[in-house]
Amino acid sequence: MRLLISAALTTLTATSSLAAEATVSVDIPRLNVAEYHKPYVAMWIESADGGKITNLAVWYDVKHKDGEGTKWLKDLRQWWRRTGRELTMPADGLSSPTRAPGTHQLTFDSKAKPLDGLAPGSYQLVIEAAREVGGRELLRLPFEWPPKAPSTAQAKGENELGAVTLKLTP
């Protein structure tokens, strides 16, 4: 009997200590334009009421001479107004170079930054893209955290972003 209770408690503890995971897949479409520039992209999580923000990633021209790439971050208007202007770039674990056309995937673990402090509740994944000599686009994908069961949210951009998928696993 003691062995059975011990095994049950071990299973319960192991199950509850497993980390939830969020995987974001972003498609950057190839555009047929005369002058193509890779888009700047910002991804963040905000509460359902538009409150607290948790930055996930910022893709921009990190290798531009003399740090000039940061000059264009303000073209990511929503991100810039909400949190971008408060950050010093490059930011370790947050910023990285722009991405070429194709599908790009990022995975975040609930036990590591930036999700380790995310309280249970309703949220939105927000992805904003802006391109020099191009347009700007913003997509929102609502979700519940932490996930109780595997779930997927999807959105599709019209120009600067293609398909965006958020997969959550408990």
pLDDT at 16: 45
Identify any residues that bridge with 23 across adjacent strands, giving them in sequence order: 107, 167
* Cβ neighbours of residue 21 closer than 8 Å, sequence gap 6 or more: 107, 108, 109, 110, 168, 169
Quick: pLDDT tens for 21-75.
999 999 999 999 888 899 999 999 999 888 888 999 999 998 877 777 898 899 9
Q: What's the whole-number average pLDDT of the chain?
A: 88
In the chain, where the domains are located: 19-169
Q: Is residue 82 pLDDT above 80, yes or no?
A: yes
Give the angle 102-107-109 at the CA atoms, nearest 5°: 175
Identify the residue whose tokens are 């995310």.
118
Cβ-contact 57, 76 below 8 angstroms: no
